[in-house]
Every structure is written in C-alpha cells, then in structure tokens.
Copies of this chain bind each other. A is one copy, B any other.
C-alpha cells in the first residue's frame, strides 16, 4: 500500500486500532483516565440525576413551555454519559457501573414510543411539536448522541437491546425524513446525527442508515425554499427573525460541496465535517473529501488557536473571519476541540497524512485536556488563551455538553494511537502503553516506554506472534526538527519522514526494539502578521505542549507587564516537578517586567516618562494545567521585547 492522494480515492487507507486493545500506563494520560473513571463518571451521573436528566426518561416530569433550549436538548447528556461509561467498562470492568449502565439503558428504552420515537421533551411536554423545529430544538442531535451511546453500549456489553431501540428510532427518522413523497425534507440544525448514523450503520450493517446520512448531508443548505424557512412559517413564525441571524450558524447556508470556509457554530461545523469525512469514505466520494480538505486548510491555517481551540466568538459559539484570534475573549469550546479531534481522526485514516495527527496531538495536550480539572470534577466550557482572573472551571453547566463529551474521549483515548493498513503498522501518537494490534492478520504485541510528552524518547518493543514482514510507520511530529532512530540499538541512517511518517520496513522478530528520539527544545512560537491580536507576542511550546504563565507562579502581577526576549526562550530551564499539578514539566527563565515605581492611584496616564523595567524570574506551566490552583491571571501569548 502506498499513501494515496485524496483526489485518487476518498476511501480510508488506514484502519484505526480500537482503544479496547490499548492500555495506557504513562504519567500523563493514565492518571487522567483513572480520574475520569473514578471521579468524573460518578460525578456526572450525580449531576445528571440532580438536574433531572436521567429521571426525564420516566416521562413524568414537568417543564415550562416554552422551555429553555438547554432543557429541550437534555437527552444528549445522559447519552454521552452512557457512552463514556460503556467505554470505561471495556477497559476497566466494573460490575457496579455495569449495573448502572444497564439501568440507564433500560430507562432510555422505556421512553421509546410505539412508533420508535425517543425524545423525553417532545414526548412528555410538547408531543404536538415533534419534528416542528429542526433548526433550533435539537431532536436529531439528541437522537444522534443516543445512537452513539447505543453503539458504545453494544460494544461494551454485547447486549443489543439499546442498539435495537435506537435502530427503531433511526427507522422512524428514516420514514419521516427524506426525498420521497410524503417525507419531510428536513435535517438537523445542530449536526451530530450524521456521524452517528454512520456508526449505527457500521454496528448494525443496515445500509439505510448510511443512505439517510447521505441524504441529510446532501439536502443540507439547499434552498428554494429553505427547509428551515418552511418549518418556521408552519410554526407561524417569520423565518427572517431567526435569532442566530444566518443559517451559517446551523451549517445550513449552502450545499456542502464547494464550501471553502469554516463558518458558524464551531461544534456544529466539526460534527458535520466528521460525518462528511465518513461519507466520503463510505461512498468513495472525492468531492466530499475536497470539501473536507478546503475547510481543513481554512481552519488550520487561518482560524485555529495554537491550543487547538477553535471558534473565537461567544456570540455564535463559533467562527468569525480569517486571522481573528483574540486570546482573552477566545471562546474555544471544549466540545469544539473534541469534534476537531474526531474529524481529523477520520481524515487521518483516509490519507495517512501526519498533518492530521499533528492537529490531534496539538489539541489533545492543550485545548482538549484543559477542559477538565485535575480533580475530574470541574470543567471549562470555554478555553481562552488569556484570563484576567475571572475564568474558572465549574462542576457543571446549564448546558453540560462538554463534561460528558470530554469523558467519552478520555475513556476511548486509545483510539488515536495506532492504525493498520495492508502491510503497515502506523504509530500516530506516543504515550507509554501496551497494545495489541493485528497486521495482515498477524497479532503483534506492542510495548511503548516513554515519558512523553515530558520527554521525547520513545522505545517500542514489537512482539509479533511469529516473525513477520511489515512496515512500521512512526509519526514525526510537525513540531520536531531533530530526531534519530534506532532499531535494536543500531542507528537507522538516512531515514526521512514522508507526509509526517518515517517508515521502517523489515521482518520483525519478537522482541525487536525501535527507539525514536524526538528532540524537544523549548521553542518560541510566532503568529502570522495578519493576526492582529498576537503581534509583538510569542508563545512557548516544548514538544506538543503549549505553555502559559499563571499569576500564582509569577507574583500575581498583571502578566502583560512581562516581556520576553525571544532569543532567551530556547535557554529556559526545563524542570520536571513531580510535586506540582500531579507532575508537570515547568519552564524557568528571565523576563523584563514593567515596574510600577512612580505610579500611584491618582495617575492613570502619564506623559513622557515610560515605566522603568526590571529583570525578573518567570515560570511557565503547561497551558492545560492552569486554574488548578489559586485564581489569578493566565496568559499564553506573552509580550516580547
């Protein structure tokens, strides 16, 4: 197999290795997964119970009408919890959790109507409004998350009951919506069901679900008249008075093919594009892949934060315009980072191009894991790159989409490490772990030893059941400029990376070792001159980790009083602190600081005399770990001298 260019085929060349075959035992992810299992999943369950989202499936709750939208779409949160809990059961059997999962599955099934419909609000509260507002009311979004939960539940338990229920719901939706006479030509205002239908198809083999997904993607944004206008008029509303103003918000402003800008609500955009990538593969449709590539280019090269956060604006929870990347007011919703990972995971399997794995890595270590506190019980919905001290994680949200989303990814994190293809074993991400993969039908045990991301040395031991020939493809991260490779202790000379992977083709003997040394200097990072908010500033990264300054480490001063000499940054001292933040590598160096000598509270501005500067010691911590100590300022992009 050779990595093919996307225009030749839109089929997936790679098959990801399931997280079920991967066990982390590193210092970075393993503790997070354990906290997720032991703290986050129980905490979330309690929150879901306390806020009535589990009980809602009993269909005997009360609610005002009109209801806050966040209450209408409450079914999606137990669904994501069930998905996370199911994944956790796969890697960590737990009879008590299994019993709870079974109970929640039964509750969900119990809420299903005779015709297959399954939505608590539009059964118990407003049955007359069923399917009347796809634009705003999230029925299909909830359906999608329930389908994903059902797939996970089936994979975890082998019990088909929830899967069968959601298949009946999908059948119902398939009857209601579509291009045939008598069907509504609708689709979701908040995409998600598209990728879920593909998962349901993969799990059940029922091709109608795939066809339904294809219909939903292709119908989207077709106008004349626009479906959302039609249904608004049917509700007696003026479609021009759409509160979000444009259908870009709903990813329904234009047909999918031919788009070249990521627009509107970031999570909706990314979920949709994940579904589009699925369709491109399933139908081997290069036109859909072209849209993916065009939007990816725009997103990654003009609209993405350094942390992997996306969507700068609170107004639309989404995108604005090219190079608009404010730091303090960044929205960068945790769910958007997650959906970005999901989309790139799919594109990686199509192309085997390391640029997608780079985005996954950049997001995982920064704008994704920033979403949860070290205690596993406090969450960011919004992940700004600077704070003046008022932004903190909280135990729950009125709209609690992010916590269970984060939890399901953490519980299935092993998905992102490996793929196989004919004659190839791909290693995308590095973390200490044990795994079993199958290459050309042959089981291969993998043992990875590493202190990644704190250290760039990665040692793999491969143990095929018997000696076998295949190519090992190791990703060379985009941030890495110097690296070396050894096989069984002997340097591999002249190996170059292509599309982000270095390839070692040989007959592997059980116990063969490969050592990859990724040099991990402290690096200053600069933003494109078109990013108006980041000029005269630098960020600091080491390996895949983006650093920040936090007030607590730096005298709680206004952090913009600091300025760094870019030439000094590579010389910052690297120190691993086991005692800090569960164990992190911090950076120490010098900065200049604007002194407040001569200023008092009777002078706000002064002429002629700039503030004097002094030299001071500064400490940077990994961005994702901020706000785990006393409240204060935080800043990723630092002024430079």
Contact between B529 and A605 (Cβ–Cβ < 8 Å)? no
User: A287-312, CB under 8 A of B: which get 1 and which 0?
Assistant: 00000000001001110101000000
B residues in contact with A388, CB < 8 Å: 324, 532
Cβ contacts A to B, 25 pairs, < 8 Å: A297-B602, A300-B604, A301-B601, A302-B604, A306-B605, A324-B388, A388-B532, A524-B607, A524-B610, A526-B606, A526-B607, A526-B609, A526-B610, A526-B611, A528-B596, A529-B558, A529-B599, A530-B558, A531-B604, A532-B558, A532-B560, A533-B560, A536-B594, A536-B639, A541-B607
Chain A residues engaging chain B, CB cutoff 8 angstroms: 297, 300-302, 304, 306, 324, 329, 388, 479, 481, 523-533, 535-536, 538-539, 541, 558-561, 563, 566, 570, 594-596, 599, 601-611, 633, 639-640
Inter-chain CA distance A60–B607, complex, in Å, is 57
User: Would B529 and A594 count as touching, CB distance under 8 A?
Assistant: yes
Chain B residues near A306 (CB, 8 Å)? 605
Q: Whole-angstrom distance between the alpha carbons of A531 and B596 in the complex? A: 11
A-B pairs with lowest CB-CB distance, top 3: A535-B560, A529-B596, A523-B607
Q: How far is the CA of A609 from the CA of B566 in the complex (A)?
A: 9
Among A530, A602, A609: residue with most chain B CB under 10 A: A530
Q: Assess the A607–B560 pair: CB atoms within 8 A.
A: no
**Complex Cα spacing A389 to B609, Å:** 31
| Of A531, A539, A633, most B-chain CB atoms within 10 Å | A531
Chain B residues near A640: list those with CB within 8 A.
Answer: 610
CB–CB B602/A523 < 8 A: no
- Give Cα distance in the complex from A530 to B559, angstroms: 10
- A191 CB → nearest B CB, Å: 25
Q: Chain B residue with minimal CB distance to A602?
A: B301
With a cutoff of 8 Å between Cβ atoms, the chain B residues found around residue A595 in the complex are 529
Residues of chain B contacted by A558 (CB below 8 angstroms): 529-532, 535
- The reply to whether A528 and B563 form a contact with Cβ atoms under 8 Å apart is no
B604 and A304 form a contact (CB under 8 A):
yes
B526, A605: Cβ atoms closer than 8 Å: yes
In the complex, what residues of B have CB within 8 A of residue A536's CB?
A: 536, 560, 563, 594, 639
- A134–chain B nearest beta-carbon distance, Å: 28
A388 to B609, CA, bound (A): 29
